[in-house]
């Protein structure tokens, strides 16, 4: 069961990563592709575990919740990334601001990563009871 849900989550994340990198051409850097894939993968997995099963079952897994949560987080990630428009600053401030933004994003990604891992583990512990 865990393996099948892992495969569905990976499939959903791969599907949306391909759509947003190749078809929509919104994601260009390799680092951003990796972050996008990781967030969509973990969100789809956690959502698929916690949301009440809906839709048709395939291999004993209700895949619709994985797909919907993956889509929501993919769109949310792109919406947030689209809100950050660079504003013109003096050259000295640009480097300092870029370092600050990188640090903030790293911390935010780490917190989100840990939260998804905790949700996934708690979801499987909850199923065992």
The series of mean pLDDT values per 10 residues for the chain, 129 residues long, is 90 93 74 88 93 81 90 88 60 64 76 93 90
**pLDDT for the residue numbered 94:** 62
- List C-alpha distances in Å: 20 to 8, 86, 105: 18, 21, 20
Contact 39, 81 (CB under 8 A): no
- Rounded to two decimals, what is the model's pTM? 0.79
For 59, list phi and psi in degrees, rounded to 5.
60, 30
H or E element that contains 15:
helix 2-18
Distance from C-alpha of 74 to C-alpha of 14, rounded to nearest angstrom: 11
């Amino acid at each position: 069961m865990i393996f099948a849900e892992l495969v569905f989550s990976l499939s959903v994340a791969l599907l949306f990563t391909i759509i947003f990198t190749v078809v929509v051409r919104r994601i260009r850097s390799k680092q951003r592709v990796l972050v996008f894939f990781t967030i969509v993968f973990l969100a789809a997995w956690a959502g698929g575990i916690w949301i009440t099963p809906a839709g048709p079952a395939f291999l004993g897994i209700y895949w619709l919740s994985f797909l919907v949560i993956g889509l929501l987080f993919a769109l949310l990630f792109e919406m947030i990334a689209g809100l950050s428009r660079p504003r013109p600053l003096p050259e000295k401030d640009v480097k300092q601001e870029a370092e600050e933004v990188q640090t903030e994003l790293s911390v935010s990604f780490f917190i989100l990563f840990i939260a998804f891992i905790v949700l996934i583990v708690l979801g499987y512990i909850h199923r065992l009871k």
